[in-house]
Amino acid sequence: MKERSERSRIYLDITVRLFSAFSALFGLVILIWILTVVILRGISAINWEFFTELPTPPGMGGGGLANAILGTVIITVVATFISVPFGLLAGVYLSEFGGQSKFAQNVRFLTNILMGTPSIIIGIFVYTMLVRPFGHFSGYAGSVALAILMFPLVTRTTEDILQLVPNALRESALALGMPRWKVTINVVFRAAKKGLITGIILSVARISGETAPLLFTALNSPYWPTNFTDSTANLTVTIFNYAMSPYEDWQKAAWGASFLITFAVLITTLMVRYLVREKHGK
Amino acid sequence: MKLLLEPSTQTRNDGIFRLLTIVAASFILLIMILLFIELLSNSWLSLEKFGLQFLLTNVWDPVRQEFGALSSLYGTLVSTLIAMLIAVPLSLVIALFLVEMAPPMVSKFFGMAIELLAAIPSIIYGMWGLFVLAPLMAKYVQPFLQKISGNLFLFKGPPMGIGMFTAGIILAIMVLPFISSVMREVFLMVPNVVKESAVGMGATTWEMVKVMVRYGIQGMIGATFIGLSRAIGETMAVTFVIGNSHSISTSLFAPANSITATLANEFTEASEPVYLSALVELGLLLFVVTFIIQMVSQLWLKRVQKRMGVQ
C-alpha cells in the first residue's frame, strides 16, 4: 500500500462516508420525487367519472377509464387463477418431493431464469401462440402472458415458505398414518398459510403494473371489456397510448391512471410487508 | 380421520398428488422449451433472408422489407453501459451506507425506500422520465454538460432531453435496487473477523471497506450481472425516453433506439411477414442474451455462496 499521511487518509474516509450517505439520500429523493409527481399530476384527473365513465375522444372533455380499470382487474384476476394452482403445486414439488434430484435442480434453475426473462419476450411468445393463430388480440391472451410471468414468482415463494415449516410437523403427521398429500394440504399448508398468501399477493402486485406483455396480447380498447376473446381495455396500455398522444386531456388521464396503478401496487406491497413483519415480531 | 380408507387407495392418492406436482413443475421446462422454439420458428424467415447481416447492418426499411438491427443493438448496448457505469458504483456506496454506516433505524428506513424503487411499475418511470426528467435534462443538465466538456463529441447536438443519455440514467435508477440488494448481502457475508482485523490495524472505515470489497469482489460481479440482465430487458421506461430513431449517432444526446423499444413501438404495426419475423428475431436475440447472462450469474453466485460458506 502507498504511504499516505494520517490527515489525507481521514479526509478520504470522510469524503467516502459523505458520498455514500448522499447516494442513499439520492435513492430516497428519487422515490419521493416520483411519488410526488404522480400524486400531484394524477389526483387532478381523478373524479367520480374517472371510475364510472367510458373514455371520450380527445378534446371532448369528461369521460373516464372505467373500462380500463375493470379490464385490468379482470385480466389480473384470471391470470392469478391460472398461475396460482400451477405455482403452488410446482412449489410443493420442489419443497416436498424434489429435494436435490437432478430434475428438481433443473426446475429451480429454470424458474429463476424465467423470473428474470424480460416481460416483453413473454408478450411475443403469447402473441405467437395465442394471438396470431386465432387472428385477433384477446383479453385471455393477456391473462396467459401475465400468468406466465407470475408462475415462477409463486413457485419460488411457495418453495421458500414451505421450507420454513419445521420437519417435525410433517413427521408427526406422517407417523399418525396420514398420507403424504393430506399432510401437505392439511398440515404444511396450514402452517404456512400466512406466508403463502403474502407471497401470492406480492406476486399479484408485481404483475398488475406490467405493460410490455399486454401490448401484443390484450392490446387495448375504448369499450367495456364485455368480450374476453377480443382486445380488452387495461390501464397500463392505456397509459402508454395516452402518454404518447399529443392531446392534453389524454395525457392528464394517463397521469390519473398512473396514480391509480402506482398506489394500488405500493400500498399493497407495503401493507403485506408490514403484516409479515408484525407476524415475525411476535 | 379417514383411516378406514384402504392403504392401497392411500398410496394411490399419494401417487396422484405427487404426479400432479411433477406435472406442474414440468410446466416451467415446457414453457422455456416452447418459448425458444416459438421464437426461433417465428424468426426463421428473417434468419434465412438476412443471416448475419441482420446484426451488422443498419437498415430498417419496412417498405422495401430490408432489416438490419444494428441501431437497436447499439442502443441497447450503450444505454445499458451508461446505466451500469452509474448504477454499480452508486449501489456499492448505498450498500455500504446501509450495512456499515447508518444506525439500524436509519438503515431500515433507507433500505425500504430503495426497495420500493423496485416496486414502482416500469411504465411509471416512463411517465416520469418523459414528462419530468427529460425537460429538466434539456433545460439544465445537457447544456451544462456541453459547456463543461467543451462540446465533446459525446455531448454534441441540440439538447432535446430524450435520447440515449436520459434512457441510461432512468435505467440506472431502475436497476439500482436490484444491484444494491445483492451488494448488501455480499457485505453482510463478510466475516466479522476480516473487518475487525482491518480496524484493529488502524484502518479507517473506507480502508476497511476496501478489504471487504476485495473479499466480496466475486459476489459484487454477480450483482452486476443481475443488474445487467434487468437493464437489457427493461422495456417501457426506455421506450418512453430513448427517442425511437433508427440511426446511430456518436452523441449521447441524440435520439436512439433499443431492442425493447423497437419491439414495443413496432410489433403491433408489423403487417408483413418479413417485418414481423425480423422483430421476433430481435426478441430471440434478447432472450438468448438475457438467458446466458442469467445462467452465468446464477452459477457464479452459487459458487460464491459456497466459497463464502453460506448455504
- pLDDT value of position B7: 63
pLDDT of residue B157: 85
CB contact under 8 A, A90 and B34: no
Residue type, A167: N
Q: How far is A60 from chain B (nearest CA, A)?
A: 23
Q: Do B34 and A266 touch (CB under 8 A)?
A: no
| Residue range A89-109, pLDDT digits in tens | 999 999 999 989 999 999 999
CA distance A16 to chain B (A): 7
Tell me, yes or no, whether A87 and A36 share the same domain. no
Q: Which of B14, B27, B97 sits opposite A21 (nearest CB)?
A: B97
Q: In terms of domains, do A139 and A120 share one?
A: yes
A38 and A156 share one domain? no
- pLDDT band for position A279 (cuts 50, 70, 90): low
Same domain, A122 and A251: yes
Does residue A231 sit in the same domain as residue A201?
Answer: yes
Among candidate residues B92, B277, B117, B297, the one with its CA nearest the CA of residue B185: B92
User: Cβ–Cβ of B42/A128 closer than 8 Å?
Assistant: yes
The answer to whether residues B230 and B297 touch, using CB atoms and an 8 Å cutoff, is no
**Same structural domain, A132 and A218:** yes
Give the amino acid at B41. S
User: Which residue of B117, B128, B280 is in closest CB contact with A27?
Assistant: B117
Of the candidates A83, A53, A70, A122, which has an alpha carbon nearest to the alpha carbon of residue A228?
A70
Q: Name the burial class of residue A166, with classes exposed (0-12), middle (13-18) and buried (19+) by CB atoms within 10 angstroms of its CB.
A: exposed
pLDDT, averaged in runs of 10, over chain B (311 residues): 60 89 96 97 94 92 91 96 96 93 92 93 96 95 88 84 94 96 90 90 88 89 91 96 91 93 93 93 96 92 78 43
Same structural domain, A159 and A219 = yes
Cβ separation of A37 and B102 shorter than 8 Å? no
**Chain A contacts of B209, Cβ < 8 Å?**
16
Phi, psi of A50 (to 5 degrees): -55, -35
pLDDT at B4: 53
| Residue among B22, B127, B283 minimizing CB distance to A121 | B283
Contact criterion met (CB < 8 Å) for A28 and B113: yes
List the single residue in B121, B267, B286 with the smallest CB-CB distance to A216. B267
- Min distance B273 CA to chain A CA atoms (Å): 11
Q: Structurally, how many domains does chain A consist of? A: 2
φ, ψ for residue B67, nearest 5 deg: -135, 130
Mutate to test the interface with A, among B86, B127, B271 (most CBs of A within 10 A): B127
pLDDT(A277) > 70: no
A151 falls within a domain? yes
Chain B interface, mutation test: which of A32, A113, A119, most B Cβ atoms within 10 Å?
A: A113
Contact yes or no for B128 and A114 at CB 8 A: no
Is it the case that residue A20 has pLDDT exceeding 60? yes
Q: Give the minimum alpha-carbon distance from A277 to chain B in angstroms, rounded to a whole number.
A: 12
A133 and A97 together in one domain: yes
In chain A, residues with a C-beta closer than 8 Å to the C-beta of B131 are 37, 41, 243, 251
Which residue has better confidence, A273 or A78? Answer: A78
Residues A173 and A211 in one domain: yes
pLDDT given at position B139: 94
Cβ contact B205:B119 at 8 Å? no
Q: CB–CB of B207 and A9 under 8 A? A: yes
A1 located within any domain: no
Domain limits for position A132: 52-281
| Interface contact B39-A125, CB threshold 8 A | yes
Interval A235-248: pLDDT, tens: 999 999 999 999 99
Sign of CA dihedral A99, A102, A103, A109: positive
Question: How far, in Å, CA of B155 to CA of B139, rounded?
Answer: 14
Do A133 and A159 share a domain, yes or no? Answer: yes
- Are A37 and A132 part of one and the same domain? no
- All three cell numbers of B296: 452465468
Q: Do A151 and B125 touch (CB under 8 A)?
A: no
The mean per-residue pLDDT over the stretch A124-133 comes to: 95
Q: What CA–CA distances, in Å, run from B212 to A77, A253, B183, B191, B297?
A: 46, 49, 11, 9, 20
Contact between A92 and A181 (Cβ < 8 Å) = no
Question: Residue B24 is nearest to which of A23, A93, A114, comparing CB atoms?
Answer: A93
Question: Distance, in angstroms, between B151 CA and closest chain A CA?
Answer: 28
Three-state secondary structure call for residue B67: strand
Q: What is the 3-state secondary structure (H, E, C) of B194-226?
A: HHHHHHHCCCCHHHHHHHHHHHHHHHHHHHHHH
Query: How confident is the model over A148-178, as pLDDT tens digits?
Result: 999 999 999 999 999 999 999 999 999 998 8
8 Å CB contact between B278 and B57: no
Chain B residue nearest residue A83, CA to CA: B24
The verdict on a CB contact (< 8 Å) between A211 and B235 is yes
CATH number of the domain residue A84 falls in: 1.10.3720.10
Which range, of A117-121, A269-273, B109-113, B124-128, averages the lowest pLDDT? A269-273
Assess if residue A86 is contained within a domain.
yes
Count A/B contacts: CB-CB distance under 8 Å.
Answer: 257
The answer on A120 and A23 residing in a single domain is no
Residue tagged 391460472 (cell numbers): A82
The cell for A74 is: 379482470
Closest chain A residue to the Cα of B176, Cα to Cα: A27
Q: How confident is the model at residue A282 (pLDDT cuts 50, 70, 90)?
A: very low
Residue of B nearest to A202 (CA): B119
Rg of chain B over Cα atoms, rounded to whole angstroms, equals 24
Q: Which residues of B touch A148 (CB under 8 A)?
A: 31
- Residue B28 has its nearest CB partner, among A28, A155, A216, at A155
Q: Do the Cβ atoms of A113 and B295 come within 8 Å?
A: yes
